[in-house]
Chain A
Amino acid sequence: MFADCADPKSLEGLVWFLCYLTTGKQVLFYWSFLTVLTLMAITAPIALGFGFGGALATRSHIAPLRWLGMGYTSMVRGVPDIVFFLFVPVALDQGLEWIRHKTLCPDWTEPVRQGADFVVCAAAKLPLSSSPQSVHQVYGFVLAVVAFSIVFGAFAANVLAGAMQAVPHAQLETAEAYGMSRRQVSRRILIPQMWVYALPGLSNLWMILIKATPLLFLLGVSDIVYWARELGARKSQIYDFPHPDWRLWYFLVLLVFYLAMTRVSEVVLRRVTRRLTRGQATMAGEAMRKAGA
């Protein structure tokens, strides 16, 4: 970045440090923070969507749909996250490649599984071997988003189903007495009111999601934990910027980052709670009404 950085071995003190902090490798570390934030920003709404679908399914009057919803929530919640993060991307990847293999290379006669090898024709590879590394990284990232969404969606489904139960029955019955259909009751009364009950559970999940992002590393995405380990490890003279074991300092940075993230989330969630509580038939809503009156 600076012209002075061309010969790092001759540098000392602050200049050395500034050059060190602007090497290509450090910049990759800074970018990985964005990777983690992007993952959270994309995963949270998708997981909420999965959760919403799952919650509605578990309450459905159609039996197969209800079984599907219940199966999804209890299966995923019952399996350790780490097993799921290892299983989903591999299964998804091999499943997609197998389907592409069957459609793109119909005259391929050799079996897909040969001993321990998983062999599909070159055209069926996902992403193609010839595509640049960035495509592979995006693909890995998408698999990670899917895995995270499925897992967190199951927990969110349970939270939302509970919140739907918590909406006072009298409200729903009153709506029915006004002549609303089941669908109208759900859309106009149940769903607008359930959020305030769901929020404590959902905010919990959000916090867990923030802290679960280091699992990205398991999925082969170079995240902040990977780079902190890699950069912090002792560097011998073979590197341009040799230094002793600095992992403690790198992990301290991560600690501050995660604490800041959770702090910001707490503030935002508190505001959202206030907003959703307004006009609700809950104790907090009643207190707000009295304070305003």
Chain B
Amino acid sequence: MKKLALMTAVLALAAGMATAQTVRMGTEGAYPPYNFINDKGEVDGYERELGDKLCAMAGVTCEWVTTDWDSIIPNLLSGNYDTIIAGMSITPERGEVVDFTQNYIPPAGSSYMALKADANTMGRISVQVGTIQADYIASSGATLLEFATLDDTVAAVKNGEADAVFADRDALLPFVEESKGEFVWAGDEVQLGGGVGMALRKTDTELRAKFDAAISTLKADGTINAMIKKWFGDEAVVF
């Protein structure tokens, strides 16, 4: 009798696990406020909150995984995780390798940040490797300095290695606001990319459709706009 009870308990547990598909969410964890690792050592940020909501709506269990930005697409393709939700802008080049959901952040500006406002934006510009900003600088004629993380690009400006850093305006904003005038905006804002979306393997069409539908719902009821305001400030671009 005891055995039977145990068996049913195990079966119930197994059935419960089988119904909820586990989706591994790959992110960088070094790009606040999009995604970062908080003081508890957990993934946090706009994309964490959004991702958990999307998973609940799509009826899947989500597990968060961090990885280097450098190898974030190869790791997706080899199956180490199932989605990339890491502030990745939708571009045609990336679209050839992975499939994007619709964007969950509208196209936003990229800006130069430097130690003085008249910094030479055609000089040595530091960018994070493999970003749309890196592609833009490579074709703009300025000298390209690539770094592995956003923090490294900012450090390069601080120690004089680069004249300015070029990145998503929303990611640079905390640096400008909290540096007490050390960092300032330079040059003009540039519009790049088609907004930020989740990237999935091209073979994972079913999962992509689920997330797409969930994003549509959250866009329609205004949840996404409220979350963007919460994480990126009131001036942020909304849908």
Chain A residues with CB under 8 Å of chain B are 8, 23-25, 27-28, 90, 93-94, 97, 114-120, 125, 129-130, 132-133, 136, 220, 229-230, 233-234, 236-242, 245, 247
Q: Are A242 and B178 touching (Cβ within 8 A)?
A: yes
Q: Are B79 and A120 touching (Cβ within 8 A)?
A: yes
Known: A220-B67, A236-B174, A237-B178. A118 touches B37 (CB 8 A): no
Chain A nearest Cβ from B98, distance in angstroms:
9
User: Is B175 an interface residue, CB under 8 A from the partner?
Assistant: yes
Chain A nearest Cβ from B147, distance in angstroms:
12
Chain B nearest Cβ from A151, distance in angstroms:
20
12 contacts between A and B (CB under 8 A): A23-B39, A97-B79, A114-B203, A117-B201, A117-B202, A119-B201, A125-B79, A130-B17, A233-B149, A236-B32, A238-B174, A245-B151
A93 to B80, CA, bound (A): 10
Known: A24-B41, A119-B201, A120-B79. A129 touches B67 (CB 8 A): no
A-B contact count (CB 8 A): 87
Identify the 7 closest CB pairs spanning chains A and B, nearest first. Answer: A236-B174, A24-B40, A233-B151, A25-B41, A24-B41, A130-B22, A23-B39
User: Is B11 an interface residue, CB under 8 A from the partner?
Assistant: no
State the interface size on chain B (CB cutoff 8 A): 39
Q: Are A90 and B78 touching (Cβ within 8 A)?
A: yes
User: Is B85 an interface residue, CB under 8 A from the partner?
Assistant: no
Q: Are A238 and B202 touching (Cβ within 8 A)?
A: no
User: Is B30 an interface residue, CB under 8 A from the partner?
Assistant: yes
Secondary structure call for the A interface? loop
A126 to B98, CA, bound (A): 22
A241 to B97, CA, bound (A): 39
Q: Are A230 and B77 touching (Cβ within 8 A)?
A: no
Contacts of B45 in A (CB 8 A): 238
A48 to B75, CA, bound (A): 32
A132 to B155, CA, bound (A): 35
Chain B residues with CB under 8 Å of chain A are 17, 22-24, 29-30, 32-33, 36-42, 45, 61, 63-65, 67, 75, 77-80, 82, 97, 149, 151, 154-155, 158, 174-175, 178, 201-203
Q: Are A115 and B202 touching (Cβ within 8 A)?
A: yes
Contacts of A229 in B (CB 8 A): 149, 151
Q: Are A240 and B78 touching (Cβ within 8 A)?
A: no
13 new A-B contacts, CB < 8 A, other than A24-B42, A130-B22, A238-B33, are A23-B40, A25-B39, A90-B78, A93-B78, A116-B77, A116-B97, A117-B77, A220-B67, A233-B30, A234-B151, A239-B36, A242-B178, A245-B155
Contacts of A25 in B (CB 8 A): 37-41
Q: Are A129 and B149 touching (Cβ within 8 A)?
A: no
A236 to B67, CA, bound (A): 21
Chain A's closest residue to B159 (CB) is A245
Chain A nearest Cβ from B101, distance in angstroms:
17
Q: Are B79 and A118 touching (Cβ within 8 A)?
A: yes
Q: Are B36 and A238 touching (Cβ within 8 A)?
A: yes
Chain A nearest Cβ from B72, distance in angstroms:
11
Q: Are B174 and A237 touching (Cβ within 8 A)?
A: yes
Q: Are B65 and A119 touching (Cβ within 8 A)?
A: no
Chain A's closest residue to B154 (CB) is A234
Known: A125-B79, A220-B67. A117 touches B203 (CB 8 A): yes
A247 to B154, CA, bound (A): 13
Known: A23-B40, A236-B32, A245-B158. A133 touches B82 (CB 8 A): no
Known: A24-B40, A125-B79, A130-B22. A119 touches B203 (CB 8 A): yes
**Which of B36, B39, B158 has the most chain A CB within a 10 Å cutoff?**
B39
Chain B's closest residue to A5 (CB) is B39
A245 to B23, CA, bound (A): 34
Contacts of A90 in B (CB 8 A): 78
Contacts of A8 in B (CB 8 A): 39
Chain B nearest Cβ from A143, distance in angstroms:
11
Chain A nearest Cβ from B239, distance in angstroms:
23
A230 to B64, CA, bound (A): 17
Q: Are B63 and A239 touching (Cβ within 8 A)?
A: no
Contacts of B22 in A (CB 8 A): 129-130
Q: Are A241 and B39 touching (Cβ within 8 A)?
A: yes
Contacts of A237 in B (CB 8 A): 174, 178
Known: A23-B40, A118-B79. A236 touches B178 (CB 8 A): yes
Contacts of A136 in B (CB 8 A): 65
